[in-house]
C-alpha cells in the first residue's frame, strides 16, 4: 500500500491535513501526519530528525512512501529524503520552499518577509519564536474558518527560518512535483523549477488544504498514479 507522509508548514500542526486525509483514504492511500515540534529552540534540523524517525518506522512497511510538504515543510521533506533516498519514491510540495545545499528559508525569501519575521520574533519575550500571522495572510476568508484557524496556529521557532539546509545531492535522484497555488504569494513555481521538479498549478490560497481539500486530494492521487504508471512502463 502507498503511504503519504503529509508534513505541515510553519505555525501549523498535523491538523492542517484533516480535510484531505479522509479523501485520500477513500482513494486507497494510507496517510501519516507527523507533528513538528514548535517548542523551545527547534530548528530545521530538529524537524528533519523527527521526520527521519517517521520514515524509519515506515521502512518495514510493505509499499512505497511519498513525502508531501506544505510551505516551510518543503525544506524539511527534501532534507529528510536526501538522507533516506532509498525509502522515498516521490516528493510533492504544495507551495513549498525549496533550494539547494546551504539555503535557508530566509535566504530564499524576499527582504520584506525576512524583516517582518525578524521583527515579530524580537517583539516576543524570548526572541526565539515568531507569532502566527492572521488567517487572512494564508488566504482564509470564511469567518468561521478564520476563527478556528486563529485558535490553532502556534508561534514558530525562528531557527526554522534561519537554519541552512544540508543536502548531499541524493535528493536530486528522487522524482519531485511542485504544486503552486494561484494566485501566487511567493515564487513557489520558480522554487520547484530551480530544483528540477515538475510544476503544476492549483487554484486556491496558500492554505489550499483547508479551503479546497477535494482538489488537493484529487491532484495528489493523480500525481501519484501518473508517477506509478511511468515507473511501471519503464520496467
CATH number of domain containing 33:
3.40.50.1820
pLDDT at 70: 98
Tell me: the pLDDT tens digits for 93-135? 999 999 999 999 999 999 999 999 999 999 887 889 999 999 9
The rounded percent of the chain whose pLDDT value lies above 70 is 96
DSSP collapsed to 3 states, 166-191: CCCCHHHHCCEEEEEEECCCCCHHHH
Q: Which three cell numbers stand for residue 26?
A: 477513500
pLDDT at 1: 85
pLDDT reading at 233 higher than 60? no
pLDDT at 86: 94
| pLDDT band at 62; cut points 50, 70, 90 | confident
Question: Do β-strands 156-157 and 129-130 pair in parallel, antiparallel, or remain unpaired?
Answer: antiparallel
> Which is higher by pLDDT, 61 or 68?
68
Q: What is the spatial distance between Cα 31 and Cα 58, in angstroms, rounded to a whole number?
A: 11
The rounded percent of the chain whose pLDDT value lies above 90 is 88
Alpha-carbon Rg for the chain in angstroms: 17
Tell me: the pLDDT tens digits for 74-104? 999 999 999 999 999 999 999 999 999 999 9
pLDDT at 231: 65
pLDDT reading at 235 higher than 70? no
Model confidence, pTM:
0.95
Q: What is the spatial distance between Cα 168 and Cα 147, in angstroms, rounded to a whole number?
A: 42
| pLDDT band at 157; cut points 50, 70, 90 | very high
Q: What kind and span of H or E run contains 161?
A: helix 159-162
Nearest CA among 161, 162, 157, 112 for reference residue 130: 157
Q: What is the spatial distance between Cα 119 and Cα 94, in angstroms, rounded to a whole number?
A: 27
Q: What is the spatial distance between Cα 179 and Cα 17, in angstroms, rounded to a whole number?
A: 16
| Average pLDDT of the segment spanning 56-65 | 84
Range of the domain at 22: 3-234
Nearest CA among 22, 13, 86, 25 for reference residue 50: 13
Nearest CA among 92, 88, 108, 110 for reference residue 100: 108
pLDDT at 127: 86
Question: Do β-strands 65-70 and 3-7 pair in parallel, antiparallel, or remain unpaired?
Answer: parallel
Number of folded domains that form the chain:
1
Q: Which three cell numbers stand for residue 235?
A: 520496467
Amino acid at each position: 500500500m502507498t503511504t503519504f507522509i503529509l508534513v505541515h508548514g510553519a505555525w501549523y500542526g498535523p491538523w492542517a491535513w484533516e480535510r484531505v486525509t479522509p479523501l485520500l483514504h477513500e482513494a486507497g492511500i494510507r496517510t501519516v501526519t507527523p507533528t513538528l515540534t514548535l517548542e523551545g529552540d527547534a530548528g530545521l534540523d530538529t524537524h528533519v530528525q523527527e521526520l527521519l524517525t517517521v520514515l524509519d518506522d515506515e521502512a518495514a512497511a510493505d509499499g512505497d512512501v511519498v513525502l508531501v510538504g506544505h510551505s516551510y515543510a518543503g525544506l524539511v521533506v527534501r532534507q529528510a529524503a536526501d538522507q533516506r533516498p532509498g525509502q522515498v519514491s516521490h516528493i510533492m510540495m504544495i507551495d513549498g520552499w525549496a533550494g539547494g545545499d546551504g539555503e535557508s528559508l530566509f535566504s530564499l525569501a524576499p527582504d520584506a518577509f525576512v524583516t517582518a519575521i525578524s521583527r515579530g520574533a524580537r517583539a516576543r519575550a524570548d526572541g526565539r519564536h515568531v507569532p502566527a500571522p492572521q488567517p487572512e495572510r494564508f488566504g482564509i476568508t470564511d469567518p468561521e474558518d478564520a476563527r478556528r484557524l486563529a485558535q490553532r496556529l502556534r508561534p514558530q521557532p525562528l531557527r526554522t527560518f534561519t537554519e541552512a539546509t544540508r543536502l548531499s545531492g541524493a535528493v536530486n535522484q528522487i522524482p519531485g512535483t511542485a504544486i503552486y497555488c494561484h494566485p501566487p504569494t511567493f515564487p513557489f513555481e520558480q522554487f520547484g523549477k530551480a530544483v528540477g521538479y515538475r510544476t503544476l498549478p492549483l487554484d486556491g490560497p496558500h492554505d489550499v488544504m483547508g479551503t479546497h481539500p477535494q482538489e488537493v486530494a484529487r491532484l495528489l492521487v493523480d500525481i501519484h498514479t501518473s508517477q506509478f504508471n511511468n515507473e511501471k512502463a519503464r520496467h
